[in-house]
Amino acid sequence: MKNLFFFFALYPFLVFSNDEKLSSKIKEVTVYLSGASITRTAECNLTSGASEITLTGLSTKIDESSIQISGLQTVSILSMSYDINYLIIEENSSQSLLLQKSIDAKESQIALLKNRISGLEEEEQVIYTNRTISNRLQSFDLEKIKKVSTYYRERITEIKNEIFKTNQKINKINHDIRTIKKQMAETNNAPEKEQGEIKIKFDAPIASKLNLTISYQVQDAGWIPNYDIKSKDINEPLTLCYKAHVYQKTGNDWNDVNITLSTGNPTVNVAKPNLGVKYLNFTNGYLNTNVRASKKKRYVYNPSVKQVTGTVVDESGGPLPGANVVVKGTSNGTQTDFDGHFSLDVQNGQELVISYIGYSSEELPIYSSVMNVRLDEDMASLDEVVIAGYATKKHRSIIGAVSSIGVQRGLAGSTSGIRTRGITTLRDDSRPLYVIDGVPVDGFEDGDLDMDEIQSVEVLKENNATVLYGSRGANGIIVITTKKSSTQDDVTNTKFVIKIPYSIVSDGDITAIEINTFKLDAKYEYFAAPIVNENVFLTTIFNDWEQYNLLPGEASIYFKGSYAGKTTIDPYTTKKEMTVSLGIDPNITVTRKQNKNFKSKSFTRSNRLLNRTYDLEVKNNKAITIDLKLMDRIPISQNKDIKVDDIETNSAEYDSKKGLLTWKLNLSPQETKTESFSFQVKYPKYKRISI
């Protein structure tokens, strides 16, 4: 009778509760600069009428308003809700279990050792007690006293030594336990135990089998632009590798999924601003009612940066010593040194505030470990960005450049294959070896690859070919690099569709994904501006970088096969040419000296006259002829009482609007050249200026 009662009590739930737990799989992920869009697929069978399913194992970082369901056919959705289930108990991984067993075993060892110490301490106490009682009840002669004393001393010493050694063993085991616990914490760092769930109520007119597609937005994910810039040698083409550092800590691993990288940022407010009427009235003179326009969101926070270094300069490029650099919202900050340099740990915080008396402050997201900041109002006046790196080693390059590439066209303009001119000079009695993405391919025919799939082609001849592949390269080698992604330009952003699937673990670590590698025709020249830096830099200059949709990001520089340093690429401050420094060359020297001119102390009535003449001496200590771009400047007056006259630029190109002087020099080995310029400054004698 009791069993029958429970059956009727549960009967309504058995009949009407058809909530089905449904698993799904991540198929595609679109990663934005901040955030990501997840696309999942799931199959479910619905009976006619109302039914309910629960999609389990989802991220806890889902934006509920972004959830979309497709593939419904004739089925309608009655309701949908997103919740977090905190009662999920996730089984420990096998590695975690092994680590826990090791901890338990070591803790058992410690317990046994502590028991031994307790026994030794008890024995020690018995000896002390026995010695006191014996002294009161017995009278020993001298010989017996010596024997008893020797026994007590030796045994007490043995006990204390053993307790000391046992404590050392316990400390060693405790150290091992702490190490294992750290490893265990690292192992268990990834997914949270709680999981997101989406409950959906359907209304199906007939029994249906649905292939559902579920998409939603998540937080705690994104990608950071990153670059490798490689130069094999002077006059060789420049290789620009465009990469994405992808991170995510959404609570779900992305296993073998299709990745699309988007330059969009869904976290930015895209609402159209409204411009209202501006009414004028008298106000308190100390109250600033001017409202500054919101700046364009150019840079994106990089969570992997833990320390930032950089230089703060003024509008003329001169260093600003004593500028304040502070992590926004914290007291963590520093000041620039005499040369305008700073270094700051940024474990917490996402933005830097850079300020200096007399200049407008800048607020920038921490987007790179190298952040050089110019405090001026007209950033658009910059024509180029000079990026510094430091070469350390030399490496011989063996790959030659392709002479030219021809495209064979079929009917109706279709691409039928590639034809490489210059390879015919190798040998006519055999075919060259084709190497596709680093893998030799036998039997390759022109047309096997569509031109849309090819990123670059190089030709190796003679010794350059046989060094790499021996006799297989005797007839020459054609090296073909294919594209790693395809580009889609949408209305408001660019998407890079990565061609191979990736797995990205939900632990916040960086996964590097190659977007594409480009060959750039570059011009090499040496650069010196001794008024701000007495070193001579080897630079490479390239154009047409706009077509690659570059974003601000860190760049690692490699010259002649060696790592040359780290810098930042910022296409937002570059107009026509992008200039990258490959390092300092100590074999070229430049000095800037002021001629002694006693007329600089002369006065005319109420004015003072300063005459300045500078000599710039450049010496080429290298064994080869070099081209060098030398720059200096003449000050520009911003006050009507300060006059800059008698300007003599001699052989320099002079930009009168900016006051910049440029010399294009060609120096033979061991040659020295001297250039000079002069100017006069007149200003009121009771004032002070800084030239």
Q: Kindly write down the DSSP assignment for every residue of 204-259, as one continuous string.
A: ESS-EEEEEEEEEEESSEEEEEEEEEEE-STTSPEEEEEEEEEEE-SSS-EEEEEE
In this predicted structure, which of 116-120, 384-388, 608-612 has the lowest mean pLDDT? Answer: 384-388
Whole-model pTM over 0.85: no
Number of domains in the chain: 5
Question: Would residue 286 count as lying in a domain?
Answer: no
Q: Check whether residue 16 and residue 149 sit in a common domain.
A: no
Q: Return mean pLDDT, the chain.
A: 79
Task: Identify the pLDDT of residue 604.
Answer: 63
Question: Would residue 251 count as lying in a domain?
Answer: no
Residue 114 has pLDDT above 80, yes or no: yes
Average the pLDDT over 289-298 and give the result: 56
Question: Would residue 381 count as lying in a domain?
Answer: no
Q: What is the CATH number of the domain that holds 338?
A: 2.60.40.1120
Instruction: Express as a percent the part of the chain with pLDDT over 70.
Output: 79
Q: Check whether residue 202 and residue 318 sit in a common domain.
A: no
Task: Identify the pLDDT of residue 294.
Answer: 55
Average the pLDDT over 179-197 and give the result: 73
In this predicted structure, which of 135-149, 225-239, 278-292 has the lowest mean pLDDT? Answer: 278-292
Q: Check whether residue 20 and residue 169 sit in a common domain.
A: no
pLDDT tens for each residue of 390-405: 333 333 343 333 333 3
Residue 55 has pLDDT above 60, yes or no: yes
Residue 661 has pLDDT above 50, yes or no: yes
Q: What is the CATH number of the domain that holds 6?
A: 2.60.120
Task: Identify the pLDDT of residue 191.
Answer: 47
131 phi and psi, to 5 degrees?
A: -65, -40
- 638: domain range? 588-684
Question: Would residue 241 count as lying in a domain?
Answer: no
Residue 91 CB coordination number (10 Å): 7
Confidence band of 118 (pLDDT split at 50, 70, 90): confident
Q: Check whether residue 19 and residue 141 sit in a common domain.
A: no
Q: Check whether residue 680 and residue 593 sit in a common domain.
A: yes
Task: Identify the pLDDT of residue 138.
Answer: 56
Average the pLDDT over 539-568 and give the result: 84
Q: How far apart are CA 590 and CA 606, in angstroms?
A: 38
Task: Identify the pLDDT of residue 380.
Answer: 36
Q: Check whether residue 183 and residue 196 sit in a common domain.
A: no
Confidence band of 135 (pLDDT split at 50, 70, 90): low
Task: Identify the pLDDT of residue 680.
Answer: 92
pLDDT higher for 208 or 575? 208
Q: Check whether residue 171 and residue 209 sit in a common domain.
A: no
pLDDT tens for each residue of 457-470: 888 877 777 777 77
Task: Identify the pLDDT of residue 522.
Answer: 86
Q: Check whether residue 133 and residue 203 sit in a common domain.
A: no
Q: Check whether residue 334 and residue 200 sit in a common domain.
A: no
Q: How far apart are CA 288 and CA 311, in angstroms?
A: 31
Question: Would residue 611 count as lying in a domain?
Answer: yes
Q: Check whether residue 66 and residue 48 sit in a common domain.
A: yes
Written as six digits, the tokens of 521 are: 């025709």
Question: Would residue 29 count as lying in a domain?
Answer: yes
Q: Count the residues in the chain.
A: 691
Confidence band of 194 (pLDDT split at 50, 70, 90): confident
pLDDT tens for each residue of 312-335: 988 777 788 888 999 998 889 999
Task: Identify the pLDDT of residue 292.
Answer: 55
Strands 603-604 and 607-620: antiparallel
In this predicted structure, which of 171-175, 307-311, 450-454, 558-562 has the lowest mean pLDDT? Answer: 450-454
| 3-state DSSP percent of the chain in helix, strand and coil, to 5 | 20, 40, 35
Question: Would residue 329 count as lying in a domain?
Answer: yes
Q: Check whether residue 78 and residue 212 sit in a common domain.
A: yes
Q: What is the CATH number of the domain that holds 652?
A: 2.60.40
Sheet hosting strand 454-460, strand order edge to edge: 439-441, 433-436, 477-482, 454-460
Distances (CA, A) of 642 to 176, 316, 496, 614, 661: 73, 18, 54, 20, 21
Average the pLDDT over 100-119 and give the result: 89
Task: Identify the pLDDT of residue 579.
Answer: 82
Q: Residue 619: which residues within 8 A CB-CB, separation 6 or more?
A: 588, 589, 590, 667, 670, 671, 672
Q: How far apart are CA 584 and CA 533, in angstroms?
A: 11
Task: Identify the pLDDT of residue 498.
Answer: 94
Residue 575 has pLDDT above 90, yes or no: no
Q: How far apart are CA 54 and CA 198, in angstroms?
A: 6
